[in-house]
Amino acid sequence: MLVVLGHRKAEIAANLEGAGAEAVENPRYQEGMLTSVQAGFAAAPPDTEWFVIALGDQPSLRPEVVSLLLAEAEAQQFAICNSKPLPLHTILVPSYHGRRGHPLFIHASLREEVGTLDPEVGLRELMQRHPEAIRHLVVTDEAVLADMDTPEDYQRELRRLGN
């Protein structure tokens, strides 16, 4: 597993020691979140089949959601490898009440294209280019939409976690 770091990278990297994660530095982190995605894609082993774009500030994300996405990625990979005549989806997105959430799964066939995306637009550009490639997996957990960007978000997550 790769963890892409930018702001406060040394402090975060120290906390990753012994966790089985490899820290990857993004020197362009100030240009936007897409540059972290691009750094992770570039650093991943060449035989990577799927990329998981998980936000570091989603403490309420449930393992069941990730398991659902993993199962769908495995089904898609089987279809891709065996040339099955199914509608192949190379972008997997959890969806809650019609809104896209995280984590995203992106197939390696899009790896080079992700590297060319505009950081100001982000992964939205990829989804706009390939709407037919998106598979929305409906989930019943709104935590796929919730991350922590403000002190109010932090307080909301504390309440959600029962603290």
Q: Please enumerate in sequence order all residues whose Cβ is within 8 A of that of 110, keeping only pairs 6 or more positions apart, or say none.
A: 90, 91, 126, 130, 133
pLDDT tens, residue by residue, 148-163: 889 999 998 888 878 6
Q: What share of the chain has pLDDT > 90, as a percent?
A: 62
Backbone angles phi, psi at 5, to 5 degrees: -120, 145
Q: What are phi and psi of 59, to 5 degrees?
A: -65, -20
Average pLDDT over residues 12-19: 85
Q: Cβ neighbours of residue 26 under 8 Å, at least 6 residues apart?
A: 4, 5, 6, 35, 36, 39
Global pTM value:
0.87
Residue 85's pLDDT is 56
**How much is the average pLDDT of 66-86?**
80
- pLDDT average, residue stretch 53-67: 89
Q: Is residue 39 over pLDDT 80?
A: yes
